Amino acid sequence: MEKKSVKFVSSIFLFSLCLAFSAPSAQALSIGISPAELRFDNVLRGGYAESTVSVSTSSETPLNFTIGAEGAVKGWIEFEPSQSLTISRDEMKRVSVIVKPPADVANGIYTGSIIVSTASARTGGTGAGAGVTAGTTSDITIKITGEEIKKASVENMEVKDTEEGYPVEFLVSILNKGNVIITPLITVEISKKNGTEVLRSANYSQTSILPTKMSIIRMKTGTEGLEKGEYAAKVRVFLGEEKLAENTLYFSLLERGTLSKKGVLQNIWNDPWVNIGDVVKIDAYFENQGELLVSGKFKGEVYRAGRLVEVVESEELEAPVGKTIVLSAYFRPEFPGQYVVKGSVIYGGKTTETKESYINVSPQTGQLPADYTLLAIAALVAVFAIAILLKAGLKRGRLRDKR
């Protein structure tokens, strides 16, 4: 009787295990890509063009997906990002489709497809359930030409108020509508509001823009020698001899301390699992939520077993108003174990709150972390113990049967 019970329990266990592994296959996966067709006109031989597709799913469970190209244009297409692509019903992913045709390709129209396929992120694409995939395609058409087209438009101009001792920043958004790289010229003339005398002038022509791309050019001009008050800035944009746009913008030069400085360290990110000797890149995401352009530097302390082992710092970078920048520092662990990074960003005489991240260092490549090794040993001990108990139970059952 006891023997039958053991068999019954074993059967139930195996059935439950099979059911658990087969459960993902019951989920219907759906995936979509938009737009359903991409068309690139007048792409220069050996040139560049770019567009964007959005990949989405109706699944609540996060899905990993891959994206690739097929057809005559397969070798011309690149994707950005190309790795760590995850989507869910609440998280759509935008992917840049980059076209780089060879310089010796003949003029004409070429077609192909963008193919998106996915597998459950929970299975990692291997093992049970990995065969549960969904896919979709988007048609792509590329017209190749040998004619160079230089064309652009100014989409937006703006300026922000500033304080004494700080530069005034102009933002000019320019879209390259041609098929060659362009380098526009921006000129600024500053005068008193309702005045005619030019008090300050500056030129800027240091940003190159790829075909089909829009660039937001940030141009700074010093305010030294200017009094507090209201000013007018005449901004002109040129592409070669052609004037693309002209506009007069107004800004105020305010007393120091008038505008707020507020920066937020959103989070610190690094690869959580590394090996001894690896160089770990520590990225601090800093957002300027204030009203003034500031410069920020990340400073972090790295601890192991509660002891400070190293201080890391990033370069100082400017953070425009309303923008998030990434400040990167580097650390090379020398011993295995868990490290804690505690850091903050120093900006404009202020310091953000401290954030933390963790680095788990394995002794060598391919070796399990200490916690996993102990877990494996414990699992083996448990298996042997269960086997011994079952064997002893069966022996007792046989003895009772003989009696």
Q: Which of 39-43, 194-198, 289-293, 396-400 is predicted least confidently? A: 396-400
Tokens of 306: 């509660």
120 and 193, same domain (yes or no): no
203 and 234, same domain (yes or no): yes
95 and 188, same domain (yes or no): no
Is the pLDDT reported for residue 135 higher than 80? no
Looking at 233, 254, 275, the residue that finishes a domain is: 254
Is the pLDDT reported for residue 22 higher than 90? no
Q: Percent of the chain beyond pLDDT 90?
A: 67
Looking at 113, 145, 177, the residue that finishes a domain is: 145
Tokens of 252: 């105020």
**pTM for this model (two decimals):** 0.69
Q: In this predicted structure, what is the pLDDT of residue 63?
A: 82
232 and 273, same domain (yes or no): no
241 and 295, same domain (yes or no): no
280 and 338, same domain (yes or no): yes
**CATH number of the domain encompassing residue 122:** 2.60.40.10
DSSP 75: G
pLDDT 10s digits, 345-374? 999 999 999 999 999 999 865 545 444 455
88 and 120, same domain (yes or no): yes
304 and 201, same domain (yes or no): no
For residues 118-146, b (16+ Cβ closer than 10 Å) or e, as one string? bbbbebebeebbeebebebebebebebee
Q: Which residue has the tokens 């077609």?
A: 111
Q: Say whether 221 sits in a helix, a strand or coil.
A: strand
Structural domain including 275 reads 263-362
Give domain status of residue 172, yes or no.
yes
Confidence of residue 21 (pLDDT cuts 50, 70, 90): very low
244 and 316, same domain (yes or no): no
C-alpha span between 219 and 230 (Å, rounded): 19
Is the pLDDT reported for residue 8 higher than 50? no
Give domain status of residue 400, yes or no.
no
Give domain status of residue 18, yes or no.
no
pLDDT 10s digits, 200-228? 999 999 999 999 999 999 999 999 999 99
Is the pLDDT reported for residue 330 higher than 60? yes
Number of domains in the chain: 3
Average pLDDT, rounded, for the chain: 85
| Average pLDDT value for residue range 169-197 | 96
Q: Which of residues 298 and 59 earns the better pLDDT score?
A: 298
Q: In this predicted structure, what is the pLDDT of residue 64?
A: 85
| Average pLDDT value for residue range 291-295 | 92
The CA distances from residue 289 to 16, 220, 264, 319, 347, in Å, are: 53, 19, 7, 10, 12
Give domain status of residue 231, yes or no.
yes
